[in-house]
Structure 1
């Protein structure tokens, strides 16, 4: 693990807000040259602190008006490997995230669908037919607020 100074923390906060910012603009903002800023960002990437950058799509604007968090308890843990379940569930396009969790359920899925009828189709035809799928509990997302990350 590398040591981070105040400037590194400022860069990380700025990139967390908008990962598209260039090293020139960030350098001007924090009193660094463009090459010095680029080297710092590169060091953060090489050390694994910056694990990547992602494109944040608006699911609703793309026609997916419903987001559901689905708790899945596997029916037969001994007969179906976790890897088999994970491989099958990640192949479903509507499944946004797959989290292996500890607690009442074995997995927590974030699923997007066009509407509740579409979600029911995904649940019946895709999720419930997965190897080892047992009981499920669905929670429909009503609203979502973005929270600041661990730097914040």
Structure 2
């Protein structure tokens, strides 16, 4: 397991709030030099603790007003490989996340659409036609109060 000190945790916390911070700006914020900050960011990246930086899009502002969580149960687990299903579902642009889960469903998907008729089109024409899809359970997102952030 990776051992992090207080400075490493402060760097991760700051970058999780604003991943666009430069090493110089981050160093000034934390009282470190730019080279020392850069070396720590590099070490965190090489260790796997920092696995990349993401841009968070505002789906509603971009015209995607509906988010639906789908629980997918595969009908024929033995006939269709999980990799085939994952590859096919990952190719659908409206599918934002694909999670292989243990429990009632085999997969959990986060799907965005412009509106409910658009979601119905994606569901009928793209998701229900995927290899091995059996049962599908949908939950429409009403609101979201917290986005993923620092641990």
Cα distance in 2 for partners of 1:135, 1:148 equals 29
Which residue is 1:9 aligned to? 9
1:147–1:114 Cα change, 3 Å? closer
Deviations 1:71-129 (A, max 9, x none): 00001101111111111101111100000000111000000000000101111111110
Alignment of 1:21-40 (within 5 A): 21-40=21-40
1:63 matches 2:63: yes
Unaligned stretches of 5+ residues in structure 2: none
Alignment of 1:1-152 (within 5 A): 1-147=1-147, 149=149, 151=151
Q: Secondary structure at the match of 1:122?
A: helix
TM-score by length of 2: 0.96
Cα distance in 1 for partners of 2:126, 2:46 equals 38
Cα distance in 1 for partners of 2:72, 2:121 equals 16
Report if the CA contact (8 A) 2:12-2:150 is conserved: no
Q: CA RMSD in A?
A: 1.2
Report if the CA contact (8 A) 2:70-2:137 is conserved: yes
Shift in Å, 1:149: 4.0
Unaligned stretches of 5+ residues in structure 1: none
Q: Secondary structure at the match of 2:72?
A: strand
Shift in Å, 1:3: 2.3
1:15–1:119 Cα change, 3 Å? same
